[in-house]
Amino acid sequence: MTGGQRGTIENFRELLKKYNRSSLLIMCAQVSVAFAYGPEAETTASDELTKLWTRILFTPDVVPKIEQFYKNERLNFLQGQLRFISPL
C-alpha cells in the first residue's frame, strides 16, 4: 500500500513488544469505544466512523488507497484486529 517492504507478523509483534502491555490494552479499549463496538454485537465500524477515522489514523498519501478499499466494500476496521493485538 505504501510502496515499502511488507512487514511480517514477527515484525509486528516485535514492534508491539516495545510498548507497555497495559498501555496497549487501554488503547484497544479506547479504539473499541471510538469505533462503537459494543453490546449490540457490532464488530465493524460504521460507514461514518470508517470515513472519519481513516483520515485521522492514516497519512494523507495513504488515505486515497484506504478509501478505495472502502469503496470496494472491503472492511477497514474490524473488532477482530483489536482482539488480535490485545493478548500479545
pLDDT tens for each residue of the chain, 88 residues long: 567 788 888 888 888 889 888 888 888 888 888 877 876 767 777 888 888 888 888 899 989 988 888 888 777 777 777 777 766 5
* 4 belongs to a structural domain: no
* 2 belongs to a structural domain: no
Tell me, what's the pLDDT at 41? Answer: 61
* 60 belongs to a structural domain: yes
Tell me, what's the pLDDT at 24? Answer: 83
> Which residues fall within 8 angstroms of residue 32, CB to CB, at 6 or more apart?
38, 79, 82
Domains of the chain: total: 1
Q: Which domain holds residue 20?
A: 9-85
* 1 belongs to a structural domain: no
* 49 belongs to a structural domain: yes
